[in-house]
Amino acid sequence: MKTSFIPISLKEYVELHLKSNPSASRVEITTALKEALEDYKKGEKCLNCGNPIWVIGSAFAENMCFTCITGEAIPEDDFEIDEACY
């Protein structure tokens, strides 16, 4: 269980992302997040280390975990789609 992430719904994350990136495409972001979430649900693992993928990061990069994408060991104040937190 990913207890250190801040759970956020997919819809809420899209709105937050668009607020910070107004030129981004709502459809493209939503599609990428849904695809990454489906990969997570299918059990896809990080391409580098084999840990569970970080859905939000994997929507914008290849299927990788939080640590491999950010270089940080533990997420602090980082979001993850709620369906991948439980």
In a domain, 40, yes or no: yes
In a domain, 1, yes or no: no
* CA–CA separation, 51 and 44 (whole Å): 9
In a domain, 28, yes or no: yes
For the segment 15-19, the average pLDDT, to the nearest whole number, is 97
Question: Residue 31: is its pLDDT beyond 70?
Answer: yes
The pLDDT of residue 33 is 98
In a domain, 19, yes or no: yes
In a domain, 77, yes or no: yes
- Paired with 8 in beta bridges are 81
- Name the residue range of residue 80's domain: 6-84
* Cβ contact 78:57 at 8 Å: no
Q: Taking each helix axis as running N to C, give the angle between helix 10-20 and helix 26-41, from 0 to 180 degrees, rounded to the nearest 10.
A: 140
In a domain, 47, yes or no: yes
Q: Which of 82, 55, 43, 49 is nearest to 67 (CA)?
A: 49
Structural domains counted in the chain: 1
* CA–CA separation, 77 and 4 (whole Å): 8
The pLDDT of residue 4 is 85
